[in-house]
Structure 1
Amino acid sequence: MYKGYLIDLDGTMFNGDERIEGAADFIHRLNDAKIPYMFVTNSGARTPEETLKKFKSHGIETSIEHIYTSALAAVDYVKENDKTNIYAVGSDSFKETLMNNELTLVDYHADAVLFSYDTHINYEKYVNAVQNVLEGAELILTNPDKVIRHKDKFIPGNGSLASVVVSATGVEPIVVGKPNAYILQKALEKIGVDQKGVAMIGDNYDTDIMTGIQGSIDTIHVNTGVHRTEDVMKKEVPPTHAVENLLDWAL
């Protein structure tokens, strides 16, 4: 039916350390059929190499060329806008991704503040982020997720954590991750398929499904993560398709 797929990770391919039924089989079928696909994830906490290891631990056979994270989208964005001195909030792996792509990390006088999910966020990091933004640094969020699923519970996401900086500065951030059009267009460029022939697969209506809706591409909702099928189908604009898991989706 579709010539290519953009696929979410957390809540779609796996839930933390828990496997999701049908995920590995779906990627196996894509590989066998030689259908282009790109994993498009709002998680910038892992490097692409770490993400690949996580795939393998869940029995999902793929390659690093199929992985496009919000951290990589942030790298592309700041480079395109000639910003190289970065104050980064995020995991060590997030910062490693930035440095591996020739960005300079600074504490003060930054060109941009890149805010990614940080489980060790503290007051000092907030102070530095706010100060840099007030001095003119562009505030860029890797993703706006207000809540994410972790094992058997839901926890605050990057959008909730970053709201402190937004509130303190009054500056609305640039969001490079889903549902922003930036990460969608970059992913489409990478798989080389026109948006009319692509479907976006995900569990989160506010990010995954809205990426497709706002980008005028078809969407497939899976009932394996944040939002339940019965809830998303009641939305004013529901997903194009809804399945329990990817075992139910025929290529």
Structure 2
Amino acid sequence: MNNYITNIKSVPSALLYKVKKLKHVALDMDGTIYNGSTLFPYTVSFLNQLKRLGISYSFLTNNPSKSISDYLEKLEGLGIEATEEEMYSSAVATIDYLKTKHPEVKKLFILGTSSMIKQFNKAGYISTEDSAQDEPDALIVAFDMTLCYERLCRAAWWAKQGKIYIATNPDKVCPTDKPVVLVDCASICSSIETATGRKPDVVLGKPQKEMLDGILSAKNLKPDEVAMVGDRIYTDMMMAHNAGAFGVLVLTGEATLEDAEKANPELDIVLPSIEVLGNLIEYSHLR
């Protein structure tokens, strides 16, 4: 495929021009800068390379299982210093959505981790108990690694009662470096749909372009000045397409080269890793 680049010196001039225009890099996390608990060996040098070139960056994740403070702590433990302004998760996107679209909602039944629930509590929401008497205004379903059967059944019950039903992200599985399949939000929602016939009213996170809107607004950037970098076609690359940003698929996570060849719409560029992206950006600045 002509947009799969391994030799940066063979990049077509039109593509090189698009790379040279970039002023900000929005980075997916799992499968892009690390895999599970393993930081890719080139990640820190890549971030330093962006700083040296005067290109800002941020971290976007569809994984809402951790609060922003927990994510910052994880990044610090991996050797990456980041600020709260550089982090945006699908949990934060869900909170922003609720405040904008449903300001009347105060009580939530949240199928999610305790860390994520703390993020909602910090934003002023009340998390209801697993009880038919503690009625929520809305149901939030997320990637829940602490999922228990009783709470799944309660979530299905509230879905069946017609409560506002929001899924934090559309991911089927979460990338991992362990010998296990991590069932993600979309798969949990499929279980609820099978039991009740109800799909979420809205699914947030990537590929919704709103995940990039905050960056564009805060930094006064045009969409084509931002690269969305990730390992998934149906979330990361589709969001880049929806937002008009420059999509960079890296083959260090879920998507394979075969997946990239079948992608529709056609991808902007496919690279082996962010290491190659850093070298490509630097090369474009020398042209």
Q: Under a length normalisation based on structure 1, what TM-score does the superposition of the two structures give?
A: 0.92
| Counterparts in 2 of 1:129 and 1:227: CA distance versus 1, 3 Å | same
1:21 and 1:238 map into 2 onto residues whose CA distance is 29
In the TM superposition, residue 51 of structure 1 has moved relative to its aligned partner by: 1.1
Larger radius of gyration: 2
- Deviation above 4 Å: which 4+ runs of structure 1? none
1:75 aligns with 2:95: yes
Paired residues for 1:149-188 under 5 Å: 149-153=175-179, 154-173=181-200, 174-188=202-216
1:174-194, CA deviations, whole angstroms, 9 ceiling, x for partnerless residues? 111111233232343344322
1:235 aligns with 2:235: no
Total equivalences in the alignment: 251
1:97 aligns with 2:123: no
Equivalent in the alignment of 2:234: 206
Question: Is the contact between residue 68 and residue 187 of structure 1 (CA under 8 Å) also seen in structure 2?
Answer: no
Match among 104, 117, 121 for residue 147 of structure 2: 121
Equivalent in the alignment of 1:197: 225
2:254 and 2:108 map into 1 onto residues whose CA distance is 31
Paired residues for 1:139-158 under 5 Å: 139-153=165-179, 154-158=181-185
Unaligned runs of 5+ in 2: 1-19, 282-287
1:95 and 1:196 map into 2 onto residues whose CA distance is 35
Q: Supply the RMSD in Å over aligned alpha carbons.
A: 1.8
In the TM superposition, residue 111 of structure 1 has moved relative to its aligned partner by: 1.6
| Counterparts in 2 of 1:178 and 1:32: CA distance versus 1, 3 Å | same
Pick which of 27-36 and 123-132 moved more: 27-36
Pick which of 110-119 and 94-103 moved more: 110-119
In the TM superposition, residue 144 of structure 1 has moved relative to its aligned partner by: 1.1
In the TM superposition, residue 207 of structure 1 has moved relative to its aligned partner by: 1.1
In the TM superposition, residue 212 of structure 1 has moved relative to its aligned partner by: 1.0
In the TM superposition, residue 37 of structure 1 has moved relative to its aligned partner by: 2.3
Q: Under a length normalisation based on structure 2, what TM-score does the superposition of the two structures give?
A: 0.81
Equivalent in the alignment of 2:71: 51
1:187 and 1:162 map into 2 onto residues whose CA distance is 29
In the TM superposition, residue 17 of structure 1 has moved relative to its aligned partner by: 1.4
Question: Is the contact between residue 40 and residue 68 of structure 1 (CA under 8 Å) also seen in structure 2?
Answer: yes
Equivalent in the alignment of 2:8: none
Give the fraction of aligned pairs with identical amino acids, expressed as a percent.
Answer: 27
2:218 and 2:36 map into 1 onto residues whose CA distance is 26
Pick which of 83-92 and 124-133 moved more: 124-133
2:40 and 2:24 map into 1 onto residues whose CA distance is 21
1:40-97, CA deviations, whole angstroms, 9 ceiling, x for partnerless residues? 1001111111111221222223222100011111111111121221111111100010
Match among 163, 174, 185 for residue 137 of structure 1: 163
Question: Is the contact between residue 205 and residue 232 of structure 1 (CA under 8 Å) also seen in structure 2?
Answer: yes
1:112 and 1:181 map into 2 onto residues whose CA distance is 23
In the TM superposition, residue 135 of structure 1 has moved relative to its aligned partner by: 2.6
Question: Is the contact between residue 141 and residue 176 of structure 1 (CA under 8 Å) also seen in structure 2?
Answer: yes
Secondary structure of the structure 1 residue equivalent to 2:159: helix
